[in-house]
């Protein structure tokens, strides 16, 4: 009796699987109808039926799920790398700005004083020609 009940369950399970196969095949055929005719000719009934059976198996969905997980991990890693690089660049930019401010400050201090150096004989002549004070003429050199 148990044998008989087991055989009935297998038959019902097989019928459900066959029905699901026909549903998937029908859905695939409707999708193929939306393709250009050059592609429709390449997808035979057998190919669509094999694809429907592969979808019934569930292996395809497991593979896709695994690929999705890999994609999410990769995206998360790339995002974290991007944030790290942005922070590094922000720090480097701040250091450069600080160095530029210090250099500007040093130039500002030097601009108020006469820089030590040799004053040639031509500078006083230039002063006389331009009518400028000797200290101003040094800054223009």
| Total number of domains constituting the chain | 2
Please state whether the predicted TM-score (pTM) of the whole model is above 0.75.
Answer: no
Please say whether the beta carbons of 134 and 114 come within 8 A.
Answer: no
The predicted structure's pLDDT at residue 93: 92
Question: What is the residue range of 88's domain?
Answer: 59-109
Which positions of the chain have pLDDT values less than 70?
1-11, 111-141
Tokens in use for 31?
């999708």
The predicted structure's pLDDT at residue 88: 95
- CA–CA gap between residue 129 and residue 122 (Å, rounded): 10
Kindly report the length of the chain.
141
Asked if the structure places residue 122 within a domain, the reply is: no
- The answer on 71 and 37 residing in a single domain is no
- The answer on 53 and 12 residing in a single domain is yes
Asked if the structure places residue 128 within a domain, the reply is: no
The predicted structure's pLDDT at residue 113: 63
The predicted structure's pLDDT at residue 59: 82
The predicted structure's pLDDT at residue 120: 52
- The answer on 66 and 44 residing in a single domain is no
- The answer on 52 and 30 residing in a single domain is yes
The predicted structure's pLDDT at residue 104: 85
């Amino acid at each position: 009796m148990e044998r008989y009940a087991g055989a009935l369950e297998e038959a019902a399970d097989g019928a459900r699987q066959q029905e699901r196969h026909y549903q998937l095949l029908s859905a695939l055929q409707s999708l193929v109808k939306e393709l250009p005719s050059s592609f429709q000719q390449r997808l035979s009934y057998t190919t669509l039926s094999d694809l429907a059976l592969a979808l019934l198996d569930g292996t395809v969905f497991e593979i896709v799920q695994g690929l999705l997980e890999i994609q999410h991990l990769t995206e998360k890693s790339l995002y974290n790398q991007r944030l790290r690089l942005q922070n590094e660049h922000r720090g480097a930019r701040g250091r450069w700005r600080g160095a530029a401010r210090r250099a500007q400050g040093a130039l500002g201090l030097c601009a108020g004083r006469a820089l030590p150096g040799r004053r040639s004989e031509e500078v006083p002549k230039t002063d006389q020609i331009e009518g400028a004070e000797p200290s101003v003429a040094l800054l223009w050199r």
